[in-house]
Chain A
Amino acid sequence: DTEVTQTPKHLVMGMTNKKSLKCEQHMGHRAMYWYKQKAKKPPELMFVYSYEKLSINESVPSRFSPECPNSSLLNLHLHALQPEDSALYLCASSQTSEGAYEQYFGPGTRLTVT
């Protein structure tokens, strides 16, 4: 199984809402990632988790709060977002965060902030 799943596929939320994005993999990978992709732009790294610990935060605003409850699961908690946060949020995983391992991406959650 080389699949990374993400739920929900689509999410519409108001600026005062709290919501969460979920990502799951069962490949035994110990590194997981969140990326943000605006329309017609390349993906941009947000966070890297290695062995369930946050190892990289690319200066992401605190209204985005990642969580890695176990090695298979990655969440992104959203609170007080702005309309400019509307984007495709991609999750990825790799065997470890170091070394020449490829990343496997999920299909993404398309988020619209109203």
Chain B
Amino acid sequence: DAKTTQPPSMDCAEGRAANLPCNHSTISGNEYVYWYRQIHSQGPQYIIHGLKNNETNEMASLIITEDRKSSTLILPHATLRDTAVYYCIVRVVQGAQKLVFGQGTRLTINP
């Protein structure tokens, strides 16, 4: 699976949109981009995933560049409860699922 690069930490003001970038320049055509987050001392939580098109659900939006070499997770109206480590993961969907977590981005939402 392709490697991802994320900034180690980010800050965002409560109520503003949080935009978390992820670089996956070696992604191949059959690899999906997944986002999970982990709030302190809890298990990781699935947020969203996509292949080529932008995706939106009740939690977030995922914007994937046309060349698929990078993506951005958008939390439209961040709250204090969104403070967590956010993991961007790239994986092939053929074969057994192996989520390989990188170091992630520690997002802090400030009041």
Q: Interface on A for B, CB 8 Å cutoff?
A: 4, 31, 33, 42-45, 48, 50, 55-56, 88, 90, 92, 94, 97-108
Contact = CB atoms under 8 A, between A and B. Distances in A.
A42 B103 contact: yes
Interface residues of B, number: 24
User: Chain B binding site: helix, strand, loop or mixed by DSSP?
Assistant: loop
B98 interface: yes
B29 interface: no
Given A42-B87, A107-B42, A108-B43, A97 B93 contact: no
Contact of A98 (B41, B87, B94): B94
A43 B49 contact: no
Among B42, B87, B104, the one with the most A-chain Cβ atoms within 10 Å of its Cβ is B42
B98 A102 contact: no
A14 B63 CA distance: 48
A97 B96 contact: yes
